[in-house]
Amino acid sequence: MADIDVLVIGAGMVGLGVGRALANSGKSVIIVDKNPSFGEETSSRNSEVIHAGMYYPTNSLKAQLCVRGNELIYEYCDARGIMANPISKLILATNDTEIDRLHKIFEQGQINNVPNMRIIESAEIKKLEPAIDAKLAIYAPTSGIMDSHSIMLALLGEIEDNGGALARNSPFLGAKRENGEWMIEIGGEETTKISANTLILSAGLWSGAVAKNVEGLEEKFIPQVKYAKGNYFRYMGKAPFSRLIYPIPNHGGLGIHLTPDAAGHARFGPDVEVVEEIDYRVNESRRELFAQSIKSYWPQVDENLLSPDYAGIRPKIGKDVESFTDFQILDEKDHYLKGLICLFGIDSPGLTSSLAIGEYVAKMGALA
Ligand SMILES: Cc1cc2nc3c(=O)[nH]c(=O)nc-3n(C[C@H](O)[C@H](O)[C@H](O)COP(=O)(O)OP(=O)(O)OC[C@H]3O[C@@H](n4cnc5c(N)ncnc54)[C@H](O)[C@@H]3O)c2cc1C
């Protein structure tokens, strides 16, 4: 008999969401992370936006899990007193060529069942956000912001309440199938072995590297992970906005958007910068690009008040970072290995989708 039912590699928001769903369904769960704590990589280096789900192609996992995840995040936070605030979002068309694209995003949102979106014209945009200069906008009332650190803490708490645990400073080294179970080697101060019925790879930027250490997993099922950095700049002056302000998406990202904070300041980002290494330093040379993009919808912005803030990196698995690629959640029917679930390419909207990914994985055949 295996030591535990499930071992999850990676304690980001997604690994924790998956671990929590399985722990709640009665499985014994251990999550391992190479870092001293949970959520120290992509899950703490993002926009913390609760996406509504209008950007993603029909029936894609991103469309389904984002729309469902949006609902679940609000419910989860509401029940636990965690901040999740539907401050709403405006997606802006600032010129005629963007108007067509705006309508396409709106139609896609309708297909994806995003609730209560509306197209609004410049007079209503001015009423909602007087500093914005735009011709047309999508108003999405279910978009919002969340306190993802508190959500992760609560998810871990639930896993622990069900008898599960997070093993910190515990890098996954390798796994092979022995006697119908996974025998898993974990590093750290001492190397240990643990057996599990199900092994779940949720290692974000390292998902490709981790998958290569699973014996028997054919290389053709392991995508090459490319790194698309997103830099953020903080606005040091007052920013007169109360909603999320987004341009039309471009170049593999959702555009350099504005997230207001409670103190009346704002953060801008992320952009998309292809990088070769995981290096979280902000590329300050992007300031001019930021200023240009922001000016297209907020002409009064003072670019001298833009100060480098932080950066995160998206794990992209497409042929290039600009093309749409869906989340990949593979099990035995995809890669022919029993008791193995691989999560690849969990970039945006991974945070929003995390609880829905948990629900989805908990239903997968490999866990029967
Ligand atoms: C710039 C940017 C902005 C974003 N904005 C949003 C947003 O506003 N809304 C939204 O919904 N999504 C957003 N996302 C996407 C979201 O942040 C990610 O989809 C989500 O955080 C992915 O979580 P994860 O658990 O898969 O990965 P991670 O948080 O990276 O977790 C993976 C974990 O695996 C661990 N690990 C790796 N290798 C090993 C190993 N060998 N052994 C043990 N542990 C290992 C790592 O230490 C890490 O803790 C954004 C992403 C970026 C980069």
Write the CATH number of the domain with boundaries 4-46+149-223+324-367.
Answer: 3.50.50.60
User: What is the overall mean pLDDT for the chain?
Assistant: 95
Q: Letter for the amino acid at 176?
A: K
Q: What is the second-level CATH architecture of the domain 89-141+226-316?
A: 2-Layer Sandwich (3.30)
Residue 121 pLDDT greater than 90, yes or no: yes
Ranges for all domains in the chain classified under CATH 3.50.50.60:
4-46+149-223+324-367
Among 89, 145, 251, 351, residue to substitute to test ligand 1 (most atoms within 8 Å of Cβ): 351
Nearest of 122, 135, 131 to residue 301 by alpha carbon = 131
> What are the tens digits of pLDDT across the range 219-241?
999 999 999 999 999 999 988 89
- Alpha carbon of 42 to ligand 1 centroid (Å): 3
Closest Cα to atom 25, ligand 1: which residue?
12
Instruction: Return the CA Rg of the chain.
Output: 21
At residue 368, the pLDDT reads 53
At residue 285, the pLDDT reads 96
Region 346-364 average pLDDT: 97
Dist. CA 147–CA 353, nearest whole Å: 14
Nearest of 229, 169, 175 to residue 340 by alpha carbon = 175
> What are the tens digits of pLDDT across the range 79-100?
999 999 999 999 999 999 999 9
> What are the tens digits of pLDDT across the range 251-304?
777 889 999 877 778 999 999 999 999 999 999 999 999 999 999 999 999 999
Dist. CA 311–CA 48, nearest whole Å: 13
At residue 321, the pLDDT reads 87
At residue 313, the pLDDT reads 98
Atom of ligand 1 nearest to the CA of 347: 19
- Alpha carbon of 43 to ligand 1 centroid (Å): 4
Dist. CA 159–CA 359, nearest whole Å: 14
Upstream peptide bond of 349 is cis (omega within 30 degrees of 0): yes
SS3 state of residue 13? helix
Region 123-131 average pLDDT: 96
The structure tokens listed for 3 are 């030591």
Ranges for all domains in the chain classified under CATH 3.30.9.10:
89-141+226-316
Region 313-320 average pLDDT: 94
Least confident of 3-12, 257-266, 298-307, 316-325: 257-266
At residue 173, the pLDDT reads 98
> What are the tens digits of pLDDT across the range 155-214?
999 999 999 999 999 999 999 999 999 999 999 999 999 999 999 999 999 999 999 999
Dist. CA 131–CA 21, nearest whole Å: 43
Atom of ligand 1 nearest to the CA of 228: 53
Closest Cα to atom 15, ligand 1: which residue?
348
At residue 114, the pLDDT reads 98
Q: With a threshold of 0.75, does the pTM exceed it? A: yes
Q: Letter for the amino acid at 249?
A: P
